[in-house]
Amino acid sequence: MKIPLTPFGKILTLAVLLLGNAWMNQAFAQDNQNCLNCHQYPLFARISEEDGKLHNFYVDAEMYVNSVHSGLACTDCHSDVEKIPHDPVPRPVNCNQACHTLDPFTQRPFSHSGVFEDWEASVHGPKNDGKDDLRPDCKDCHVNPLQLHPVSAEFQELSGNCIKCHEEENITTAVKHVDFHSNPDRYWTQQRRLEVCSSCHTDDTILGEQADILRDDVVSSFLKSFHGVGFAFGDKKTPVCNDCHDYHGVFPQNNVRSTINEANLRETCSGAGCHANVSRDFIQGSMHFRYEGWQAEVLNWVRWIWTTLIIVVIGFMLIHNTMDFIRTRIILKKHGYPPPTRLQKRYLRMNNTDRMSHIIMFSSFTGLALTGALLWVPAARLAWLPDWLYLVEVRFWGHRFFALILTIISLFHIGYGLFTKRGRGLLADMFPKPSDAVHIFQNIAFMLGMRKHPPKMPWFNYAEKMEYWAFAWGSFVMTFTGVVMMLEHLGPKFWVDVARIIHSLEAILAVLAIVVWHFYLVHWKPGKWPMSNVWITGEISEWDMKEEHAGALDQLSKSSEAKDA
């Protein structure tokens, strides 16, 4: 059945066919030997009688046209091909030859001989130990898809300037090649490089056969390291495998030619402006976050302690607040909700200084929580945000800015508590007392219905004291570990990694504590929604005083009676 086409439909169909075959025509135009007549078919393959494996001879014309070898004829590399069908079977291509092209800048025969010598001597080169078939050769890493990347605007402009004097074809290919290999800020390029190395270093078949050469955790340990995390959240300057281990001259660490040899590490780490003036202690740590012995034990203990803290502390808060929520709902249902604060007698809770300090503190804490969380989120998951908002530099410097503000207000708070009369009084009231432990058990008994009345708690009850000292402890820990990470280049790196674990887990604990504990006390507790207005007005209602600070209310009443007498 034929489907009739309108004149416009015919034109559109013709245009689609022409565009779809444009790259193929370009590829065939360069195929002087007509190799693509056969090799253009994806199923052009055979099963070898020698090893029983399927050998595919398909050539992707699009990849060929976009590769750095697109200006070469097939026989420039496959020089022993003379007959069709090929007889004898063509030998593997030898990349170590200087016959196939001219350097576009010098017009001299180009050769990979220097690179080949480095590769041959490296851990990837042939060793004649029966494992050569598992070692990568040139084409295992230099696969054509790597060249299918967008050329930066700077290099496109450079290419246009060069073409004025040089041949367009050679210069365009050369500029694309230089752009790919010389621009370390390109995140796309770094992704491809990591994929190439990971393709072997996560291959169970290779790892099983070459356990003496490869360690099965090199990729996973890198992804857990500072560099790996930086790469995951989109830092374009984060080094990947070959930035530290070199490209072709990859040698064991005990080899003096290795870029990660102890004698060369300082130069490697400080190269390209990464860790300028880095200390020798720092570079002796594990860059792959892979530790052994007592160092591994310390890291495990740190993780265990902070993970246990998170589970125990947040678990207690959830249970406590659930019981309080249920008990408070029962009381309010029985006696009714309190009248608006403006219709009640009010007591001064926070003066102007207290309220301003609180606003600055919770604003900086919120900024720290958001920027800190964003630092651990891959950039690919933040694409829905405005571009400038998820730039690594914005998240990084934003986090430091809010950290500085929180540190300044914390120091002010310490000075206020030590050097002002009101501050000293509040600080004295905030110190834990034996009666607080009694109030905890009495209040739990009340929430469980085992007491008729809640305990009469002071100006700062146990819940507020727990929150205050937890925040003080968390601020100290976060500031200290943050400074350690800022001064990481002073080393040793092991303690920097310890600080990084503590900083991350303490941040999780702090945010959960604020959400579960503080938000409940001032926002979600029945009778408080949508929030307590104390931080705005500075005044607390009489109803809240009776419920949460009955002991302090009694003292105020007695003081008032004494003055009246």
Same domain, 525 and 447: yes
Q: How far apart are CA 514 and CA 475, in angstroms?
A: 13
Q: How far apart are CA 493 and CA 299, in angstroms?
A: 13
Closest C-alpha to 236, from 177, 179, 277, 183: 183
Same domain, 249 and 108: yes
Give me the average pLDDT of each 10-residue run along the chain (565 residues).
Answer: 47 44 52 78 79 79 73 79 81 71 67 79 76 74 60 67 65 65 67 82 66 63 80 77 84 85 82 71 73 88 95 95 92 82 85 94 93 73 68 80 94 94 92 93 92 90 93 93 85 85 93 93 87 89 88 81 57
Give residues with Cβ within 8 angstroms of 130, minimum separation 6.
Answer: none
Same domain, 181 and 231: yes
With residue 540 as reference, give the H or E element that holds it: strand 539-541
- Confirm whether 560 is domain-assigned: no
Same domain, 86 and 186: yes
Same domain, 237 and 344: no
Q: Which of 227, 246, 275 is the last residue of a domain?
A: 275
Q: How far apart are CA 303 and CA 287, in angstroms?
A: 19
Same domain, 344 and 479: yes
CB-CB contact of 229 with 376 (8 Å): yes
Strand locations in 21-112, DSSP E?
45-47, 54-56
Token pair recorded at residue 88: 């004898």
Residue with tokens 């001032």: 522
Prior bond to 88 cis, omega within 30? yes
Q: How far apart are CA 288 and CA 497, in angstroms?
A: 11
Size (the chain), residues:
565
What is the pLDDT, as a whole number, of residue 442?
A: 94
Same domain, 355 and 474: yes
**Residue 144 gets which letter from DSSP?**
G
What is the pLDDT, as a whole number, of residue 10?
A: 45
Residue 460: domain span: 294-552
Calculate helix-pair angle for 294-335, 434-447, nearest 10 degrees.
60
- Confirm whether 183 is domain-assigned: yes
3-state secondary structure of 454: coil
CB-CB contact of 57 with 47 (8 Å): no
Number of Cβ within a 10 Å radius of residue 294: 9
CATH of the domain at 448: 1.20.950.20
Q: Which of 275, 308, 343 is the last residue of a domain?
A: 275
Q: How far apart are CA 129 and CA 84, in angstroms?
A: 36
Domains contained in the chain, number: 2
CB-CB contact of 33 with 67 (8 Å): no
Q: How far apart are CA 559 and CA 481, in angstroms?
A: 46
- Confirm whether 9 is domain-assigned: no
CB-CB contact of 284 with 493 (8 Å): yes
What is the pLDDT, as a whole number, of residue 137?
A: 78
Same domain, 360 and 305: yes
Q: How far apart are CA 558 and CA 296, in angstroms?
A: 60
What is the pLDDT, as a whole number, of residue 13?
A: 45
Q: How far apart are CA 318 and CA 315, in angstroms?
A: 5
- Confirm whether 499 is domain-assigned: yes
What is the pLDDT, as a whole number, of residue 239?
A: 84
CB-CB contact of 278 with 491 (8 Å): yes
Closest C-alpha to 75, from 51, 102, 93: 93
Same domain, 418 and 375: yes
Q: Which of 208, 242, 275 is the last residue of a domain?
A: 275
- 558: amino acid identity, one letter: K
- Confirm whether 113 is domain-assigned: yes
Same domain, 227 and 316: no
> Positive or negative, the Cα torsion across 199, 50, 54, 20?
positive
What is the pLDDT, as a whole number, of residue 300?
A: 92
Q: How far apart are CA 533 and CA 530, in angstroms?
A: 9
- Confirm whether 559 is domain-assigned: no
- Confirm whether 45 is domain-assigned: no
Closest C-alpha to 311, from 469, 508, 448: 508
What is the pLDDT, as a whole number, of residue 230?
A: 75
Paired residues of 45 in beta bridges = 56
| Burial annotation 168-206 (CB, 10 A radius, 16+ → b, else e) | eebbbbbbbebbbeebbebbebbebbbebbbebbeeeeb
Same domain, 316 and 200: no
Q: How far apart are CA 304 and CA 298, in angstroms?
A: 10
Give residues with Cβ within 8 angstroms of 38, minimum separation 6.
Answer: 44, 57, 84
Prior bond to 492 cis, omega within 30? yes
Same domain, 367 and 323: yes
- Confirm whether 565 is domain-assigned: no
Q: What share of the chain is helix, strand, coil (3-state, %, to 5)?
A: 60, 0, 35
